[in-house]
Amino acid sequence: MAAARGALLLAAMLVVSLLAASPSGAQDLPGAAAASPAESGADRGSVLWRSGDQEGAVAGWAAALEQARADGAPPAERARIAYNLGVTEAARGEPMRSVAWFEAALRAAPRLEDANFNLGLARADAGLGPRSGDGLVESLEALARTTTPAEAEWLAVLGALLFAGLGLLEALRGGSWPRRLLLAAALVQPFLFAPLVLHVSERGSEPFMVIDPAGVQLRAAPEDGAERVGSLKAGAVVNYLDELPGWTKVRVGGEARWVPSEALFGLRL
């Protein structure tokens, strides 16, 4: 009984802290407002694409994305522009850049089905494996990425409420079946909290993808003749730390390493 009360108190404290954080990411409902500068830029990109000017389309959509960032446009709008850039880069014969744009789009809008489908095609064209990878950790990470930060927070709240409710039931009623339900709820907590842990761990970070098809050498200093301290395969994702002209410092395995900037592509929209 004492253990049940302790679990109940812990769960209650967790629920209060999560609710106090108030899940973020709510978006305004679409209205009849006039087209924003970003939307106008995206329209120009579409016109250039249909005319066959792929270079111009890339420039138009890139400008639209910059405007969307400046305007604080919803993630779904930025993701759609990134998706268009991914399609155009694929048509231009740039599969790695196409992969990066689709990956960026999915990080902003995890269930953008067109981007998810085309990402698989682009990865195959670039000679990369499935996005989820072969290991359990990679598969769980890919599953966690199907949620937005706000959805991840609500999943964690749901898990905490479920655990608290079953803990209260076990404390008041006792018996074997409430205890079993409480144990089952405890076992699913890692899966309900995993998306939140992923998003919190990446909060404030700047992910970059290696887009050089041959991969890239890691250097101890920002110069070609510096000691080689490892390598990254094409498609690897690392976190940005700093940069100098032509070089970017990234975190790899907890260590700071230098990579030629042209081999990297920013995924934050």
Helix (H) or strand (E) segment spanning residue 213: none
Alpha-carbon gap, residue 201 to 62, rounded angstroms: 28
71-106 pLDDT, tens digit per residue, is 999 999 999 999 999 999 999 999 999 999 999 999
How far, in Å, CA of 128 to CA of 144, rounded? 21
Q: Per-residue pLDDT averaged across 239-257, rounded?
A: 92
Token pair recorded at residue 104: 């960026």
The per-residue pLDDT for range 6-30, each reduced to its tens digit, is 444 444 444 444 444 433 333 333 3
Pair 42, 78: CB distance under 8 Å: no
pLDDT of residue 177: 86
pLDDT at 9: 42
Q: What is the pLDDT of residue 150?
A: 82
Q: Domains in the chain, start-ordered, CATH in brackets?
A: 37-131 (1.25.40.10), 207-266 (2.30.30.40)
* Calpha distance 181→186 (Å, rounded): 9
**The pLDDT of residue 98:** 96
Share of the chain above pLDDT 70, in %: 80
> 3 pLDDT band (50/70/90 cuts)?
very low
- Judge whether residue 129 has pLDDT over 70: yes
Comparing 12-21, 142-151, 220-229, 255-264, which segment has the lowest mean pLDDT? 12-21
Q: What percent of the chain has pLDDT over 90?
A: 41
Coil, strand or helix: which one is 217?
strand
CA distance linking residue 175 with residue 1, whole number of Å: 11
- What is the pLDDT of the chain when averaged over all its residues? 81
221 φ/ψ angles, rounded to the nearest 5 degrees: -145, 160
**Is residue 214 predicted with pLDDT exceeding 50?**
yes
Work out the pLDDT band at 208, boundaries 50, 70, 90: very high
Please provide residue 107's backbone torsions phi and psi, each rounded to the nearest 5 degrees: -70, -30
CA distance 87 to 64: 16
The more confidently predicted of residues 40 and 238 is 238
Element (H, E) at 86: helix 75-91
Which of 19 and 142 is assigned the larger pLDDT? 142
pLDDT of residue 162: 87
Average pLDDT over residues 152-165: 87
Query: What is the distance between the alpha carbons of residues 96 and 209, in angstroms, rounded to a whole number?
Result: 9
CA atoms within 13 A on the CB side of 254: 0
Is pLDDT larger for residue 236 or for residue 24? 236
pLDDT digits (tens, 9 = 90+) for 34-66: 456 666 667 778 888 888 888 888 999 899 999
DSSP conformational letter for 93 = T
Q: How far apart are CA 147 and CA 145, in angstroms?
A: 5
Q: Which residues of 243-256 are buried (b: 16+ CB within 10 A; e: fewer)?
A: eeeebbbbebeeee
Helix (H) / strand (E) containing 62: helix 54-71
pLDDT digits (tens, 9 = 90+) for 171-207: 888 888 888 888 888 888 888 888 888 778 777 678 9
DSSP-assigned states of every residue in 149-189: HHHHHHHHHHHHHHHHHHHHHHHHH-SHHHHHHHHHHHHHH
Instruction: Give 257's strand partners.
Output: 250
